Amino acid sequence: MKSLKVRLAEGETLHGCWLNLGSSLTAEIAGLAGFDWLLVDLEHGMGDEQDLIHQLQAIRATPAAPLVRVESHDKQRIHRALDAGAEGVMCPQISNLEEAKEAVSGWQYPPDGKRGVSFIVPTTQYGPNFTDYQQAAKDTILGIIQVETEEVLNDLDEIAALDGVDVLFVGPADLSMSLGIFRQYDHPRFKEALAATVDATQRAGKVAGIILFDPDDYPTYREIGFRLIGSGSDGDFMAYGARTIASKLAQFRDSTKNQDSL
């Protein structure tokens, strides 16, 4: 199967969701649901790096591709996610060009970056596949920089132009908070930031991404130019399903009480 990076380069729009429960079971369920990619969230999710291993193993048994959001652009965090088997890495809270360069350096091997070499890890099939993996890494690893701060808007063109940055991915909640317009997604300043992000990626031949809180917003954001689109999480799906079933049962119980009282 083609890598996400190749599919995006060929013009596809790819859909995914977040994994924030730290569960290999919900990772497998989401992977079988029809998403193109799943993102294990180590920034805000409940799992840690040990849980990550199990989630990536579960995802590998599904058609979905695994991405990981690390806690920061620290290269050791990036190394560990990629060594564990992630196809791409998302770095949050990037504020300027220098921080973006540090992130890129973490997911590229020398001479392009500073990613360390490790053989006995899942991504190299515990050694035998290292050479093939290393040679293909630059063309297959999806590098994602998050647009979540007001400061980063000043460097969008320079960041998008970096070799190794494939996606500028908007975090709507954090970006709107940084702009002082929290959750006001129709505010002119927020819309300007979205347009600036898409424009920067298109000038550089890269891709803009975003997470949608309401999947019904999809046509709007796709028309703007976003092509790596996420919506929901394993936690959302479980909470929504549980609330929906509990509410229906309560409605039936209440209607039964009303009939008994007649």
Q: What is the mean pLDDT of residues 150-160?
A: 98
pLDDT at 31 over 90: yes
The C-alpha atoms of residue 144 and residue 88 are separated, in whole angstroms, by: 7
How does pLDDT run across 98-126, given as a tens digit for each residue?
999 999 999 999 999 999 999 999 999 99
The reply to whether 257 falls in a domain is: no
Query: Is 55 within 8 Å of 47 (Cβ atoms)?
Result: yes
The pLDDT score that the predictor gives to residue 2 is 87
Domain of 192: which CATH number?
3.20.20.60
> Which amino acid appears at position 115 of this protein?
R
Is 44 an annotated catalytic residue? yes
Statement: residue 258 has pLDDT above 70: no
- Structurally, how many domains does the chain consist of? 1
Q: How confident is the model at residue 55 (pLDDT cuts 50, 70, 90)?
A: very high
The residue type at 116: G
Q: Give the model's pLDDT for residue 260.
A: 62
Reported residue count of the chain is: 262
Answer yes or no: is 19 within a domain.
yes
Residue 246 lies in a domain: no
Catalytic residue among 15, 44, 54, 187: 44
Compute the average pLDDT of residues 89-105: 98
Q: Is the pLDDT of residue 54 over 90?
A: yes
Statement: residue 259 has pLDDT above 80: no
The whole-number average pLDDT for the span 53-57 is: 97
Domain-located, residue 250:
no
174 lies in some domain: yes
Per-residue confidence (pLDDT) for residue 234, from 0 to 100:
98
Taking residues 34-58, report their average pLDDT.
Answer: 96
The answer to the question of residue 253 being in a domain is no
46 located within any domain: yes
Is residue 38 over pLDDT 80? Answer: yes
Average pLDDT of the segment spanning 27-40: 98
Position 256 scores a pLDDT of 80
DSSP secondary structure string for all residues of the chain: ---HHHHHHTT--EEEEEE-S--HHHHHHHHTTT-SEEEEETTTSS--HHHHHHHHHHHTTSSSEEEEE-SSS-HHHHHHHHHHT-SEEEEEEE-SHHHHHHHHHHHS-TTT--PPP-SSSGGGTTTTTHHHHHHHHHHHPEEEEEE-STGGGGGHHHHHTSTT--EEEE-HHHHHHHTT-TT-TTSHHHHHHHHHHHHHHHHHT-EEEEEESSGGGHHHHHHHTEEEEEEEEHHHHHHHHHHHHHHHHHHHHHHHHHHHT-
238 and 46 Cβ atoms separated by less than 8 Å = no
Residue 1 has pLDDT above 90, yes or no: no
pLDDT at 168: 98
pLDDT category of residue 262 using cuts at 50, 70 and 90 = low
Give the domain extent around 98.
4-232
Predicted confidence at residue 261, as pLDDT, reads 62
Residue 256 domain-assigned? no
- The pLDDT value recorded for residue 257 is 75
pLDDT digits (tens, 9 = 90+) for 226-257: 999 999 999 999 999 999 999 999 999 988 87
